[in-house]
């Protein structure tokens, strides 16, 4: 098939681009980013007014409709200017609407999806743990103990981005002791209200995505009602998988959008900056930097569209989502580095954007899963023995 957008999606892409250029050009994004830990509530509200929180949510639940391709289009266009701040929208999309649509009961879908679409509630994901990292299940120490009417949760999570401003944490916890042979155990996926007694959060100082704080989350005997359980008891990770695959595709789309922004800034600067009596865009090495970024842009675009189409069609897209995550993150980080090089001294200035994109992108090689672990999984999928 031709991996491209149909006319309706092209029109949607153009409308989002027009909205971003008008309301959140790169200069405004840079200004917001300087206010570290100051969550961009105005951006959230503007995204709500534009209807973007409803993209990917069925109309019967108050959404705008659309599927994984539409959300990838939206992610790309937002990230082209906003960079990592586009996660303001994306986290609640995959950790909220995707999780509830896939794993929630009809009652939960009716309750939560309209509120997500209307921008009334925000989600953060609480999966990673301090001693676990990529060893998500084997090293998990957070426990959910069944009690009358719900669960009692104790443990600690790391890198829950936007947690302090979220209404709910999408939290994975063990619900029984692990099997000694496999180190695996039954899990539950819970929507934990962030105002629950026993929750404490602390910001983690970090390199990029400064306007959306990432948190350590401490849970001390937190009560979570039965109504907040997503999917079956004991199969929480299975329910989470759809969100994780969607997160990797969205991550790829966001990386692609930042490549778009890097390319635009590089070309603009190369056309106007002069050295040795000519514009630097006339120097072969600068042309090669820009050409390499354009090559990366096209490769990433094809991979994102392929994976998004597969997800939208209901096909297994786990391998494709992993490929997208690795390739786009590595291309995008390299593109941002080239963008800094094209700008020379101005590339490390806080007034330009390649350095902002680089800081926001560098984590993409580590999260939501490290590229090294994805390579392990890909090799294992070809029948090779597990290496970890």
List pLDDT tens digits, range 97-146.
999 999 999 999 999 999 999 999 999 999 999 988 888 888 899 999 99
What are the backbone angles phi and psi of residue 113, rounded to the nearest 5°?
Answer: -60, -45
Last residue of one domain, picked from the residues 234, 258, 280: 234
Last residue of one domain, picked from the residues 219, 234, 249: 234
Tell me the H-state helices in the chain: 7-23, 26-33, 41-50, 68-82, 87-92, 99-103, 106-117, 236-272, 284-312, 318-343, 354-361, 371-381
Residue ranges making up the domain that contains 375:
238-381
Task: Verify that 118 and 132 share a domain, yes or no.
Answer: no
Token pair 């959306």 is at which residue?
A: 212
d(CA 388, CA 386): 6
Q: What is the pTM of this model?
A: 0.96
Last residue of one domain, picked from the residues 209, 234, 259: 234
Q: 79: domain CATH number?
A: 1.10.540.10
Task: Verify that 177 and 76 share a domain, yes or no.
Answer: no
pLDDT in tens, 375-388: 999 999 999 999 98
Task: Verify that 242 and 371 share a domain, yes or no.
Answer: yes
Task: Verify that 14 and 115 share a domain, yes or no.
Answer: yes
* 2 in a structural domain: no
Q: 157: domain CATH number?
A: 2.40.110.10
Q: What is the pLDDT of residue 184?
A: 72
* 245 in a structural domain: yes
Task: Verify that 367 and 290 share a domain, yes or no.
Answer: yes
* 388 in a structural domain: no
Compute the C-alpha angle 306/307/308, nearest 5°.
95
Task: Verify that 261 and 368 share a domain, yes or no.
Answer: yes
Task: Verify that 130 and 116 share a domain, yes or no.
Answer: no
* 64 in a structural domain: yes
Task: Verify that 276 and 172 share a domain, yes or no.
Answer: no
What tens-digit pLDDT sequence spans the chain (388 residues)? 467 899 999 999 999 999 999 999 999 999 999 888 889 999 999 999 999 999 999 999 999 999 999 999 999 999 999 999 999 999 999 999 999 999 999 999 999 999 999 999 999 999 999 988 888 888 899 999 999 999 999 999 999 999 999 999 999 999 987 777 766 789 999 999 999 999 999 999 999 998 899 999 999 999 999 999 999 999 999 999 989 999 999 999 999 999 999 999 999 999 999 999 999 999 999 999 999 999 999 999 999 999 999 999 999 999 999 999 999 999 999 999 999 999 999 999 999 999 999 999 999 999 999 999 999 999 999 999 999 8
Overall number of domains in the chain: 3
Cβ atoms of 189 and 202 closer than 8 Å: no
Task: Verify that 362 and 294 share a domain, yes or no.
Answer: yes
* 37 in a structural domain: yes
């Amino acid at each position: 098939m031709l991996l491209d957008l149909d006319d309706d999606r092209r029109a949607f892409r153009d409308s989002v681009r027009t909205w971003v250029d008008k309301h959140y050009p790169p200069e405004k994004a840079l200004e917001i980013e300087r206010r570290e830990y100051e969550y961009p509530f105005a951006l959230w509200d503007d995204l709500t007014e534009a209807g973007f929180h409803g993209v990917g949510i069925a109309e019967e639940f108050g959404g705008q409709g659309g599927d994984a391709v539409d959300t990838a289009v939206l992610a790309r266009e937002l990230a082209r200017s906003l960079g990592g701040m586009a996660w303001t929208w994306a986290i609640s999309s995959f950790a909220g609407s995707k999780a509830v649509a896939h794993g929630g009961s009809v009652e939960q879908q009716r309750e939560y999806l309209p509120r997500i679409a209307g921008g009334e509630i925000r989600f953060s994901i609480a999966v990673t743990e301090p001693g676990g990292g990529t060893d998500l299940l084997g090293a998990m120490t957070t426990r959910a103990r069944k009690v009358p009417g719900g669960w009692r949760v104790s443990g600690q999570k790391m890198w829950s981005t936007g947690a302090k401003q979220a209404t709910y944490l999408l939290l994975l916890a063990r619900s029984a002791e692990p099997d000694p042979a496999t180190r695996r155990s039954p899990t539950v996926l819970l929507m934990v209200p962030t105002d629950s007694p026993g929750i404490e959060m602390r910001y983690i100082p970090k390199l990029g995505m400064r306007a959306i704080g990432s948190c350590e989350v401490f849970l001390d005997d937190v009560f979570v009602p039965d109504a907040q359980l997503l999917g079956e008891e004991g199969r929480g990770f299975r329910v989470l998988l759809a969100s994780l695959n969607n997160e990797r595709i969205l991550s790829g789309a966001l990386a692609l959008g930042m490549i778009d922004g890097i390319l635009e800034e590089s070309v603009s600067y190369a056309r106007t900056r002069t050295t040795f009596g000519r514009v630097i865009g006339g120097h072969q090495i600068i042309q090669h930097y820009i050409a390499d970024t354009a090559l990366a842009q096209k490769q990433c675009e094809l991979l994102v569209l392929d994976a998004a189409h597969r997800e939208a069609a209901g096909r297994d897209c786990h391998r494709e989502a992993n490929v997208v995550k690795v390739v786009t993150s590595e291309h995008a980080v390299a593109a941002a580095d080239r963008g800094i090089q094209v700008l020379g001294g101005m590339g490390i200035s806080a007034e330009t954007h390649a350095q902002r994109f680089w800081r926001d992108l560098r984590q993409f090689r580590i999260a939501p899963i490290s590229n090294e672990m994805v390579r392990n999984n890909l090799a294992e999928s070809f029948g090779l023995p597990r290496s970890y």
